Structure 1
C-alpha cells in the first residue's frame, strides 16, 4: 500500500468515526437515522471546504505559487486562483480616526508590522489573510501568533493574552502592556 493511499484510508476512517459520533447513530435503521447521517456528512463537507480555503490562503501567505497549489489540487493555476483567491482587504474608507487597515501583510511580515504598530497603541481586532484591522488606544500592545494548540492558547490567556481569532494554522493573540503608547511621527 502506498503512503498516499494509507493517508487517504486514515482520513476516511477518522471522518467516518467523527460522522458516527456526531450523528449519534450507532446502527442506522430508520429514515431519521439516515437523515442524521446525511446532515452530519454535509456538515463535514462544509468544514472540509472551509479548511481547504484557509490552508490555501495560508500557503499563499507563505509564498506558495498558484501554479503549485493548482498542481497539488489537480487543476490549473488559473482555476485555483479563481476558486481560492481571497477577498480584498477591507477599505479604509469610512473608518473612524482611531481605526486603520494594516496591510497588505504576509505570514512573513505581519508580526513585525503588528509589533511596530503596537508601540504606537494600535492593536488588532480583526484579520484576514493579507490584513489586520487595528484600533488605537493610549497604551502599547504586544501581538503573538501561535500554531493552533488549545493548551498553549490556554496558558497564554492565563498570562493575560487575549484571543483575537484563529485562521488555520494560527491563533492570534494580543496583550495590553500598560505602558503609554508612543507618539506617532507626523505624516510626511
Structure 2
C-alpha cells in the first residue's frame, strides 16, 4: 500500500507539504539558495495541481456533471465554476489540414497513454492544448514525453527530443523513432 493511502486522515495540504519537502531533499533550506529552491519546487507543484484540477473538471463535465454540482464541490457558484473552467473546450477540427487531427478530450491520467497509442500509428503532437493535442501524421512512429520544469525539458532536448510546447506547468516533447508506423485499422460505420 502506498504511503498516500496508508493514512487516509491526512489532508491534501499535509501531503503537498510533504511532497514539496521531499522534492527539495538534499538542499539546505536555511540558505538563500535553498529557500529559493523550495519556492521553485512549490511553484511547480502548484502548477501541476492547477492542471489536475482543470482536467478533473473536464472529466466531470464529460461524464455529465452539471456546473452547479462542480461549483458546489469547489465551494463556488455554478456561474463562477463555468467562468473559470469553461475555456477548456476542445477546438473544432474545421481548420485542420488533411494530415491533422485533434486528440482529445484527454486528461492527466490518460493523456500520455493516448499519445503513445497515436504515436504507434505515426501521429505526433504539434500543439499541446489544455485537454487535447493537435496531432499530425507521418510515416514513422513517435514517442512523447511530458515533464515539469525547464531543466528536465532542456535535458531531453539535449538528447534530441523536439519541443512541442507547454501547458499549465508541463512541457511536452516528442521524438521520431524512425521505424515505420503501424497501419490504422479501418473504422466501421
Worse overlay, 75-84 or 112-121: 75-84
Is the CA contact 1:54–1:167 (under 8 Å) kept in the aligned structure 2? Answer: no
Partners of 1:144 and 1:123 lie apart in 2 by 11
Q: CA deviation at 1:69?
A: 7.1
Partners of 2:131 and 2:113 lie apart in 1 by 14
After superposition, the Cα gap between the structure-2 partners of 1:53 and 1:177, relative to the gap in structure 1 and judged at 3 Å, is closer
Q: CA deviation at 1:97?
A: 2.2
Encode CA deviations 1:124-173: one digit per residue, 9 max, x unaligned: 111212211100011100001111x1211111001111111111221111
Partners of 1:173 and 1:115 lie apart in 2 by 12
Partners of 2:163 and 2:72 lie apart in 1 by 32
Partners of 2:48 and 2:83 lie apart in 1 by 15
Gaps of 5+ in 1: 1-51
Q: What are the residue-to-residue correspondences of 1:93-108 with 2, within 5 Å?
A: 93-108=94-109
Is the CA contact 1:106–1:130 (under 8 Å) kept in the aligned structure 2? Answer: yes
Partners of 1:180 and 1:150 lie apart in 2 by 31
Partners of 1:163 and 1:69 lie apart in 2 by 36
Gaps of 5+ in 2: 1-45, 61-69
Partners of 2:47 and 2:156 lie apart in 1 by 27
Q: CA RMSD in A?
A: 2.7
* Counterpart in the other structure of 2:71: 67
Is the CA contact 2:126–2:134 (under 8 Å) kept in the aligned structure 1? Answer: yes
* Counterpart in the other structure of 1:133: 134
Worse overlay, 58-67 or 174-183: 58-67
* Higher radius of gyration, 1 or 2: 1
Task: State the secondary structure of the residue aligned to 1:105.
Answer: coil
What TM-score, normalized to structure 2? Answer: 0.62
Partners of 2:51 and 2:177 lie apart in 1 by 31
Moved over 3 A (4+): 52-58, 62-70
